[in-house]
Structure 1
């Protein structure tokens, strides 16, 4: 009888895998209540591949994969110079970049996409010295990136979209993914201080490189959307100094290709988020967003904005109306009343929530998020109409609706649930209800530390309420403009 293969859990922990005849799981997985599987890729026989010098300043690392797609195999006919992934993005010529981008078309089928090599496996090899990194499970991917997803059900679609964007524009994304993976790995270890200075320096390098990289195709545009939201997130965590400048720059570069990208459903995980994030910032600053969301699939549920995606075109319209009223104030605005009616009548697509395979906890979060974003939009509309000190009771009622939804989720969701995708709405509520934002923040996030964006809001919140207690009766947006800077956080 052939020996039974060591399970994935024991293999990753380098533990002896013992089995009993009457048990489907090994002894260790049964004792620890772990999933006992053997789905990892086998390591190829022989010595692991090593990096080989091919000439001055030229080196190629052979990444082993059991599931190379036909498009990847055909690319092996390129010259060694073209196969090289340079750590300096300026060295990648536009001609070479276009050749790489042509390897996979945006209309690739689902069967082709699942064969792509995983970015965590490829970049993770750097931490395994000369060995090939084991392919990470969906659970490991979620644990690393959980702050960017409402729940585990979004893992596969997000992972697929990242893999696709990375493969089609490696010359743009390789360095950024390396920084992001290292940073997120560190933040998951509470006792290890965040290496802010080193990460800030690398983010600055990536920003300089992005300025000289040519955007010549939809694949480049997609990569810049991924790059922009990732760098903006890192900036928000570390210093929160230029998050929106980064995001808006990449949205501007990607705008000509956005209608094409929006047609591809499997790219929603990386195309929806940056556009919606900028809309939130523009709502606070009374500016017009760069891209109006194209909703080809009203039932889409985003990893970060959930079922609120169909609300975003209305919020874009609200940005336009608010910007125009900022430039030309008027007592009555039919456009604002129209937007308010649309928001009042808006409801999330219930079928997309209940029939898409989400867990009970995720469905509860999705419905709660939709409710609080709707209340937040109505609160903003109310404050466009009325200054502080006028009709405050209605504003407080909207704020109470937001906070009551939060309390309901925390009460029924269990001790481990974190409602981290309602920060924008909760922070708006705190401008009507004088509660301490530090205590609220701890119940919202899974981060083990307080990022720079939260510290900024704490400072603004203190300034804001000082002005109100001293009798300020003007526009809430004037205080946002004149007070300490802070960024919109989804």
Structure 2
């Protein structure tokens, strides 16, 4: 054994002398060793390498330095990876330069690519739905048990009654800390998307948020209550991403707050303490101190206002949503003509104007912004649908209604103005361009036409009640109300059981004020109210208050009753 150690020491001495000789030759003023010398040097090392040595001749990775090792371990962040940006970190900084410049949270939560060949394309999951399993897999969940659990949990359709699934998806969690939530698109958007989400960790909510940013189908599955149909999803998704990436005003907090609020209210997946209230508070502060210097900032403020207003309706329904919305429209009013001239911004700019106009119809206020229609084509909006052609008429109606509320005596001129607006509404027909027929699905076109007819009847009913108080010409008012409810029931019968009609809360509300025969189940056939029980209860309570006042002999204006209760929120 001593002899073996002696041989090893001699071998190491020979190798050290070779390395020292090579270093001396490198430091000499000669230009450098020839290729023959280098080849003989490495061949000599290989020939003289002892087979019984346990250490390698190449130095270990740790000897290259801590900084180089850290650079090799660091991956690009999720945002730079999704948008194909060059991700660079400053020395030991925890945020990359791109995220620091955009003032967003820098995360690296995506899963690493699995080694090996990609699986062959084919039908995945039951009935061809696509399942995202990497979230549960990375969280330590067994794949087999998770698949078995998923096959037993039905899809949570956006157009299906949520109350029937309260036992399957408890709001406050269950004993097993793994719940699989399937977010399904509407039946009119094949193929159906199912997202398996393990809601017990905040990382899962973060992954779902990133999926909504990167995937249009996932975005529509989570946010389809803000769109008439899936055809509007790509343009809306692109506009939101563009605003988020290009504006200097941070929208990250508002987006995250809305994402968690929808999961809490709509999919019954998390408890209230998981809703990102802090993000909404920071975004509200951002809106209050916003300084608009260009069209991108104006677009961001428009997005921020409607997002925070919708967040208030979904979570608290405190009545402050109209205040938030109107404040944002006041800020962007000087920039609105420039925003309206760009068709790519329509999915962001039209919705708050539509909401504010509907609010002012019943509150007897003036809309902040008047919709500007472009001449080249009729615009179809994700929320207003074909009603964009009604917006200028509704604006004139709001102005006349506000002027009449300021004076006790009604002038003949204002009555003539109301009659002209009535003629414009009666002659208005929802446009049906050929390109829209080819672009949208049959159910989307049916929904938009039903929505347009309901809003036209609702506007005529509002004019009737401006002229005639309660107790006068109630029969005509009931005819308008019956027309609205008949259009709604006809669409639901056409679309099939379990269907809901989007963005018709306003016409249904004014119809319920005039007809006593309507069932309270009508509220649940409206997508937004089906996930906001607090908003639905406030509207229903005011309807009951309206009928109690009528039975007690009230014969004043219906708008005086509406003005006496600022608690409920008027939504489109």
Shorter-chain TM-score bucket reads 0.7 to 0.9
**Alpha-carbon contact 1:353-1:363 (below 8 Å) kept:** no
The residue number in structure 2 matching 1:285 is 363
| Aligned partner of 2:345 among 267, 271, 275 | 267
Deviation digits for residues 202-259 of structure 1, max 9, x if unmatched?
Answer: 4233212322232211111100110100100011112222000000000000111110
**Alpha-carbon contact 2:322-2:356 (below 8 Å) kept:** yes
Structure 1 residues 126 and 295: alpha-carbon distance in aligned structure 2, compared to 1, 3 A threshold: farther
The residue number in structure 2 matching 1:95 is none
The residue number in structure 2 matching 1:247 is 325
| Aligned partner of 1:364 among 431, 446, 450 | 446
Distance of 1:75 and 1:343 partners within structure 2: 58
Structure 1 residues 434 and 193: alpha-carbon distance in aligned structure 2, compared to 1, 3 A threshold: farther
Task: Tell me how far 1:81 sits from its aligned partner.
Answer: 9.0
Counterpart mapping for 1:451-490 below 5 A: 451-483=533-565, 485-490=567-572
Structure 1 residues 133 and 406: alpha-carbon distance in aligned structure 2, compared to 1, 3 A threshold: closer
CA RMSD of aligned residues (A): 3.2
TM-score (norm 1): 0.74
The residue number in structure 1 matching 2:382 is 303
* Larger relative contact order, structure 1 or 2 (CA cutoff 8 Å, min sep 6): 1
Is residue 2:310 matched to residue 1:233?
Answer: yes
The residue number in structure 1 matching 2:23 is none
**Alpha-carbon contact 2:87-2:98 (below 8 Å) kept:** no
**Alpha-carbon contact 1:456-1:484 (below 8 Å) kept:** no
Task: Tell me how far 1:83 sits from its aligned partner.
Answer: 3.2
Aligned length: 398
Task: Tell me how far 1:338 sits from its aligned partner.
Answer: 1.6
Counterpart mapping for 1:309-328 below 5 A: 309-328=388-407
Distance of 1:128 and 1:440 partners within structure 2: 33
Structure 1 residues 436 and 299: alpha-carbon distance in aligned structure 2, compared to 1, 3 A threshold: same
Distance of 2:557 and 2:343 partners within structure 1: 40
**Alpha-carbon contact 1:463-1:483 (below 8 Å) kept:** no
Counterpart mapping for 1:153-164 below 5 A: 153-164=231-242
Distance of 2:497 and 2:97 partners within structure 1: 54
Structure 1 residues 419 and 334: alpha-carbon distance in aligned structure 2, compared to 1, 3 A threshold: same
The residue number in structure 1 matching 2:280 is 203
Larger radius of gyration: 2
Is residue 2:426 matched to residue 1:426?
Answer: no
Distance of 1:273 and 1:131 partners within structure 2: 25
Distance of 1:420 and 1:480 partners within structure 2: 24
Is residue 2:465 matched to residue 1:388?
Answer: no
**Alpha-carbon contact 1:141-1:155 (below 8 Å) kept:** yes
Distance of 1:402 and 1:152 partners within structure 2: 25
The residue number in structure 2 matching 1:175 is 253
Distance of 1:162 and 1:395 partners within structure 2: 41
Secondary structure class of the residue paired with 2:479: helix
Task: Tell me how far 1:128 sits from its aligned partner.
Answer: 8.3
The residue number in structure 1 matching 2:127 is none
Q: Which range moved further: 326-335 or 229-238? A: 326-335
Structure 1 residues 356 and 247: alpha-carbon distance in aligned structure 2, compared to 1, 3 A threshold: farther
TM-score (norm 2): 0.64
Structure 1: runs of 5+ lacking an equivalent: 1-45, 52-60, 89-124
The residue number in structure 2 matching 1:189 is 267
Task: Tell me how far 1:183 sits from its aligned partner.
Answer: 2.0
Distance of 2:214 and 2:99 partners within structure 1: 28
Task: Tell me how far 1:435 sits from its aligned partner.
Answer: 4.4
Q: Which range moved further: 362-371 or 170-179? A: 170-179
Task: Tell me how far 1:344 sits from its aligned partner.
Answer: 1.1
Structure 2: runs of 5+ lacking an equivalent: 1-70, 91-95, 106-201
Distance of 1:425 and 1:400 partners within structure 2: 11
**Alpha-carbon contact 1:172-1:213 (below 8 Å) kept:** no
Counterpart mapping for 1:214-233 below 5 A: 214-233=291-310
The residue number in structure 2 matching 1:63 is 79
